Amino acid sequence: MSKELERLDGYEGPGFLATSLDKAVGMARKNSIWPLPFATSCCGIEFMATMASTYDLGRFGAERLSFSPRQADLLMVMGTIAKKMGPVLRQVYEQMAEPKWVIAVGACASSGGIFDTYSVLQGIDRIIPVDVYVPGCPPRPEQILDGVMKIQDLIGNESLRRRNSPEYQDLLASYGIE
């Protein structure tokens, strides 16, 4: 994957760059993601392959996995989520500090997958808001990397004021989150 060196829009001169605060903070945030993996089944194995040297998620600024919700800003939900696990997942989400983002990795996290039963949650978007869906059963590491890059684009272009907007507050209220 060849990616050009990212440049901030603004006024440049010898030894200085003037740009907007939104753009500077967005670039810093998108290149320093601390993911919290919530892996329950085969998608978790694919995520482990994504963290390994062949694919190396660390290239995207997500080197440090955080297993504490209070230190993470990206929740990666991978695998089948039983309805009994729903309240635990919601609690993990609520314990994360703002700003926070969510990726649903695989068919089970996105829609319940092949498990259309009474005990399996038919998509985590029934209990928490999801920013990016990664399809597949299980998704390949390349697909997980694509999902992380989509989250990076979302983070880099997000306004600093979005989290305080009435639309965002209404979204959280629709999930019963204050």
Question: Mind listing the pLDDT tens digit for each residue in 76-134?
Answer: 999 899 999 999 999 999 999 889 999 999 998 999 888 888 999 998 999 999 999 99
> Would residue 138 count as lying in a domain?
yes
Contacts of 86 (CB under 8 A, 6+ apart): 121, 126, 127
Number of domains in the chain: 1
21: alpha, beta or left? (left if phi > 0; alpha if psi -120 to 50): alpha
> Would residue 45 count as lying in a domain?
yes
> Would residue 102 count as lying in a domain?
yes
> Would residue 65 count as lying in a domain?
yes
> Would residue 6 count as lying in a domain?
no
Predicted local confidence at residue 175, as pLDDT? 87
H helix runs in the chain, sequence order:
21-30, 42-51, 86-95, 106-111, 141-157, 166-174
Predicted local confidence at residue 151, as pLDDT? 93
Please give the Cα distance from 135 to 150 (Å, whole number).
13
Please give the Cα distance from 46 to 123 (Å, whole number).
19
Please give the Cα distance from 58 to 136 (Å, whole number).
22
CATH code at position 50: 3.40.50.12280
> Would residue 33 count as lying in a domain?
yes
Is the Cβ–Cβ distance between 89 and 124 less than 8 Å? yes
62 has pLDDT over 90: no
Half-sphere exposure of residue 150: CA atoms within 13 angstroms, side-chain side: 15
Range(s) of the domain holding residue 59: 24-174
Predicted local confidence at residue 2, as pLDDT? 41
Please give the Cα distance from 125 to 176 (Å, whole number).
13
Mean pLDDT of the chain: 86
> Would residue 83 count as lying in a domain?
yes
